[in-house]
Structure 1
Amino acid sequence: MLSPLDVLSIETWMLLISVVVLIRFYIHKKWQFFKNRNIPHDQPSLLGLGSFIAFMGDPDAMVTYDLEHKQKYGPVFGVYFWLSPILVICDPEILKQIFIKEFSTFPNRQNKFLKVNGKEMNASLLSTTGDQWKRIRSTLTPTFSSAKLKAMMGIIEQCSDEASKSLKMVADTKGGRFDAKETFGRLSLDVICSAAFSANVHSQEGEETPKIVQMAKKAFDISFTNPVILLIIMFPWLETIFHKFDYSIFPRDMLNYFKSLTEVLIQKRRSGSSNLKQRVDLMQLMLNVKVSEEDVKNGATKGMTLNEIIGNSMIMMLAGYETTKSALVFLAYNLAAHKDVQEKLQQEIEETIKEHGGLTYDGINNMKYLTMCINESLRLYTPVARNARIAEKDITINGLNIPKGTEVQVPFYGMCHDDEYWDEPFEFKPERMEDMNKIDPMVYMPFGAGPRNCIGMRFALMEIKMAICKLLHEFDLDVCEDTPSAPLKVVFRDTIRAKDDISLKVIPRCNQ
């Protein structure tokens, strides 16, 4: 029978044991972060990789985890993703400091997955930090002014008309039944490509799924079980190595497709082969202020490089597709399931059309009940489960010490379903949104808050308003026999989505 000393020398065994003890001591020390600060948290374990295994096994648990732990520990608690401490905060007063008053201390959303999105998308608003983010944000902001949005209104209405035309065909040939995710996904892609980039992709035409829709879906099929994602979460320093090899967590064919599409759109502007240069849209605004890499190195505070233009065009297409699609799906579902709300909204739509002679920019934005319905649907099915900020320096807020480098996460979904703030939080009740002054903006912020909120918020809301007004003007919405009952089960990927397919029905209105 072999003894340990027959395999390795006593010196080697002592060295191995010492290494194991040191590693265990290092892990133990890392896991004292919350204990040393008297912040309540679940006890981490080696087998659970801190508390990460619970999320890796069921990423959707995040939508319930935060609410359960807030009830268990209070508005501030901790969680370990392997060795990384995540500080979860649900206290509105502390959040106001983080998002607004102390924004200079918390300017960035994350410190991981910034350089593994593909060369171009690494230069997008979602991935950039510091002076680069400030320069890009200040360059893009004028695109979403009231005047620019008003100029895009006709394009959005045209795309919404195409959606209504498709649904009319569905009503005539398929009994009105349609797949909400597919229909609103195509509409969202048409709107963002047409209004922001003057690209007519015609994704709403025909039965077959267009390639652009297939590629857009691919962008959001990223799994948390991807080995590279797991490695970066566990060992953040590996991201630098993956970046050197130009690795992307997104499918390469998807990146190449949208990069090529953007380059074609840019080339059309340069060639002068069309009147696109006269168009007021996101693409032209970026090209008008294009600067060189050398300009940026010399300290340019305005403008974007060609690589940044391509990357931000890609992210605007993809982000505009997924989040707006989900918002429309959930809103249509809520209206179909609550006929009294739908009828009241239809009445407001008809009154607005009569008063303004159609669905105008001013008319839509003055529709109070429409806004209430959208806000309530965004609360009930919040687009993002969590958001985050990184502390750039040590800071103490309301007695809570947050060391430099700490990742603070804000549980949006949990806060929007917390009975401390909402009566019957899982019920669809638009009336609760009648007076937004009574609602804490740190509890309800579907588009984020502070200087780093969603830049496309007003564009997305305008698209949602126009689409739903066109739909309800021409049709009644109804559920099908197999439509899931409320509240819908949701899953967490990059955004919150309905877990099951949602089939709805359109019934042409008698006034049409």
Structure 2
Amino acid sequence: TFWSTSLLTYQFKTWTRQYGSIYGLFEGTRPLYIVSDVEFLQEVFIKQFSAFHSRRLPFIHKKSSGNKVNLITANGPKWYRQRHVINPSFTSAKLKLMEPMIHGCIDSFMKKIEEYCESKRQDFNIYILYKRLTMDVICHCAFGVATDMQNDIDNEYLKKAEEAVAEKYEENPLIRLGSLIPWLISLLSYVIIGQILLKRFAHKFIPSIEEMPRFWLMERLKYLIDLRTSSMKNEHKKRHVDLLQLMLDAATQSQVTDHIDVSVMSKFLHYDEVCANTMLFLVAGYETTATALAHSAYILAKEPLVQKKLQDEINQHEQNNNEYDQLKNMKYLDWFVCEILRMFPIAPRAMSRECNATTVVCGHTIEEGSVIQPDVLSIHYDPDLWGPEDPNLFLPERHSTPRHPAAFMPFGIGPRNCIGKRLALMEIKICLTRLLRQYSIYPSDQMEEKFNLKDTLLILKPESVYVKIQKRSS
């Protein structure tokens, strides 16, 4: 059933083979369409975006009221305003300013790789190192905070972020009950929120009761935001150039009024929205990128000819700390990363859209409240979209051929695609370039055995990626 399967993303692929490119099921009482028809999805995500601007969320998130919403949970004019304010953080000019910070974090990562090589260890789980690296990058680029995260194996921020990502709201029996009996939603919302508040209250008086990871992170992020706000009052203090600063420059404690008319739309974020989006970037920004890098290591170990082609292309460009412009000229690297994201889409279940107004899509009447869930795996492995070569083969060159706009959606498509896409791609490419310039990756005896994919609420990720690494001969 929908709730009992452990790898739902792969179950969608199985059902698609059985029922076709558009079929429906019920998540409780809510109609859910599983779609791998790219024309249909282009209509939903782009052409009729105004009728599908909301994401599919558990009802408890829909009860998030006022300003305590972020780019994932906000809808309508509130989402549009937040996106409009935060978008400038990811322009080419801003990304170039972040490049030295990314290189600084990768310096620490390369030292850890060197330590592993010198220790003559048979193999190691590179996924763990990538998680520490990407969390380090987020802390530097988003919040301007220098950490020793890559040397501190017990770093509390990393632990809590992992726990927060692993939380399975959909498995809460009360949330499932609300899906089955809609008229109970209001009552169940109060019960669930009451449970959360009771646990927080109990933690204050009985520290041995562990605090929920999201609240632990939020408290510390609020403290960080307060420190930055105080420092902004000092005119002589050097201004930060990061995501947090851009949001705080647009922050206000006053009520923000949203308008459908863009011409009169507010250009501000409420302080609570800054906190909510800070939390979002911390939790969502680190494990997604780390997982893409982990999948890259897995494929590089399995495909030595692909690795050699990448290294040959990297060798054609001199190493420097201004690789942002060089990356544009590395075609094979771009194809390689695209092929990784095609075969291993990171967050396929995060692409869903909820219908806001009954409409007709490609001859199908979609009722208000219905959910459209793209079957990303079926799309990414469709021979009609990705042939003539077998889509099960890892072949970077296939990305040299133009494809349907909805055939490739690792970051979603349309106005509500992933806002951090360009930062993630830059981080992945710089890391791969620097690693493969000095080292080669080989499979370990336990790589396949321990690779097992896991399907969390949002992320499809491996259990671990055990590899061997050797220094390249000069």
TM-score, structure 1 as length reference: 0.82
Give the residue type in structure 2 aligned to 1:215.
Answer: K
The 1:202/1:235 distance shift into structure 2, 3 A limit, reads farther
- Is 1:444 paired with 2:408? yes
What are the within-5 Å matches in structure 2 for residues 109-508 of structure 1? 109-113=55-59, 115=61, 122-175=68-121, 177-206=123-152, 208-223=153-168, 224-236=170-182, 238-244=184-190, 245=193, 252-272=211-231, 278-296=239-257, 301-353=266-318, 357=320, 360-386=323-349, 387-422=351-386, 423-435=389-401, 437=402, 439-484=403-448, 489-508=452-471
Q: Which runs of 5+ in 1 are unaligned?
A: 1-53
Which residue number in structure 2 is paired with residue 509 of structure 1?
A: 472
Conserved in 2, the CA contact under 8 Å of 1:116 and 1:239?
no
Aligned-partner Cα distance in 2 for 1:80–1:458: 35
Give the residue type in structure 2 aligned to 1:281.
Answer: D
Structure 1 residue 119 displacement after superposition: 8.1
Structure 1 residue 242 displacement after superposition: 4.8
Q: Which has the higher contact order (CA 8 A, sep 6+)?
A: 2
Conserved in 1, the CA contact under 8 Å of 2:29 and 2:179?
no
Q: Helix, strand or coil for the counterpart of 1:215?
A: helix
Conserved in 1, the CA contact under 8 Å of 2:251 and 2:271?
yes
Structure 1 residue 136 displacement after superposition: 0.8
Q: Helix, strand or coil for the counterpart of 2:3?
A: helix
Structure 1 residue 64 displacement after superposition: 2.5
Q: Helix, strand or coil for the counterpart of 1:307?
A: helix
Aligned-partner Cα distance in 1 for 2:250–2:5: 45
Structure 1 residue 239 displacement after superposition: 4.7
Conserved in 2, the CA contact under 8 Å of 1:385 and 1:492?
no
The 1:285/1:117 distance shift into structure 2, 3 A limit, reads farther
Which residue number in structure 2 is paired with residue 58 of structure 1?
A: 5
Q: Helix, strand or coil for the counterpart of 1:426?
A: coil
Structure 1 residue 380 displacement after superposition: 0.5
The 1:119/1:256 distance shift into structure 2, 3 A limit, reads farther
Which residue number in structure 2 is paired with residue 90 of structure 1?
A: 36
Over the matched positions of the two proteins, sequence identity in percent amounts to: 30
Structure 1 residue 161 displacement after superposition: 1.2
Cα deviation, 1:239-258, whole Å, max 9, x if unaligned, reads 54454436659995312322
Q: Helix, strand or coil for the counterpart of 1:477?
A: strand
Conserved in 1, the CA contact under 8 Å of 2:256 and 2:268?
no
Q: Greater CA radius of gyration, 1 or 2?
A: 1
What are the within-5 Å matches in structure 2 for residues 19-34 of structure 1? none
Q: Helix, strand or coil for the counterpart of 1:353?
A: coil
The 1:63/1:115 distance shift into structure 2, 3 A limit, reads closer
Conserved in 1, the CA contact under 8 Å of 2:54 and 2:354?
yes
Structure 1 residue 67 displacement after superposition: 2.2
User: What is the RMSD computed on CA atoms of the aligned residues?
Assistant: 2.6
Structure 1 residue 75 displacement after superposition: 1.4
Structure 1 window deviating more from structure 2 (94-103 vs 476-485): it is 476-485
Aligned-partner Cα distance in 2 for 1:471–1:368: 18
Structure 1 residue 464 displacement after superposition: 0.5
Aligned-partner Cα distance in 1 for 2:63–2:357: 27
Structure 1 window deviating more from structure 2 (150-159 vs 208-217): it is 208-217
Q: Helix, strand or coil for the counterpart of 2:54?
A: coil
Aligned-partner Cα distance in 2 for 1:365–1:377: 18
Cα deviation, 1:330-388, whole Å, max 9, x if unaligned, reads 0111111111111111111121226xx45521002321111111000001011123321
Give the residue type in structure 2 aligned to 1:317.
Answer: L
The 1:347/1:217 distance shift into structure 2, 3 A limit, reads same
Cα deviation, 1:220-249, whole Å, max 9, x if unaligned, reads 222343323323433455554454436659
Structure 1 residue 499 displacement after superposition: 4.5
Aligned-partner Cα distance in 2 for 1:201–1:221: 23
Aligned-partner Cα distance in 2 for 1:73–1:403: 21
The 1:236/1:141 distance shift into structure 2, 3 A limit, reads farther
